[in-house]
Amino acid sequence: MKKAENIKVIARNRRARHDYEIRDTYEVGIELVGSEVKSIRDGKINISDAYAVVENGQVFLRNLHISPYRMAAGEGHDPLRVRRLLLHKREIRKLYIQTEQRGMTLVPLTVYFKGKVAKIELAVAVGRKKYDKRQAIAKSEADRRIKRATRKDY
């Protein structure tokens, strides 16, 4: 019998679902140093500008800002350093093939702890045009109105 998964969401990239059409998602591990883990546990992370790239058979996360841990000994860590994502080789090959297509990119959606391990939900996404964003907003508002109208107030 499996233990219940203890998932604690730290940060979400809300803008990603608005700016991109999500095609596929992956749960990936991230290579961190000790002071980065402490900062993430404190919620001192910003993933809004982050993106991932496939280079030399590995996946790297760029522009992920993790603030230095104030209690760390020494200098701590570089807040914007490039971090390696942990995936299987077949997943990396699949991501490489998908990102070689025109307009595809890798965007982190969520940072969370699964038990004691930091994980990232990584999405293969296509950027939306301005008119696509308007259509998505109009559709969600229409769905909201329909839901509100069909809801019975007792």
Model confidence pLDDT, tens digit, residues 32-63: 888 888 888 888 899 988 999 999 989 999 99
Q: Give the C-alpha separation, 11 to 22, whole Å.
A: 18
Model confidence pLDDT, tens digit, residues 105-154: 899 999 999 988 999 999 998 887 776 678 777 888 888 888 888 886 65
Higher pLDDT, 138 or 27: 27
Higher pLDDT, 72 or 107: 107
Instruction: Tell me: pLDDT of 100 over 60.
Output: yes
pLDDT reported for residue 153? 62
List domains and CATH numbers for the chain: 7-127 (2.40.280.10)
* Confidence category of residue 4, pLDDT binned at 50, 70, 90: low
Task: Enter the pTM of the model.
Answer: 0.76
Q: Which amino acid is at 154?
A: Y
* Confidence category of residue 1, pLDDT binned at 50, 70, 90: very low
pLDDT reported for residue 71? 77
Q: Give the C-alpha separation, 133 to 24, whole Å.
A: 19
Q: Is residue 16 packed enough to be buried (19+ CB in 10 Å), middle (13-18) or exposed (0-12)?
A: buried
Instruction: Tell me: pLDDT of 2 over 60.
Output: no
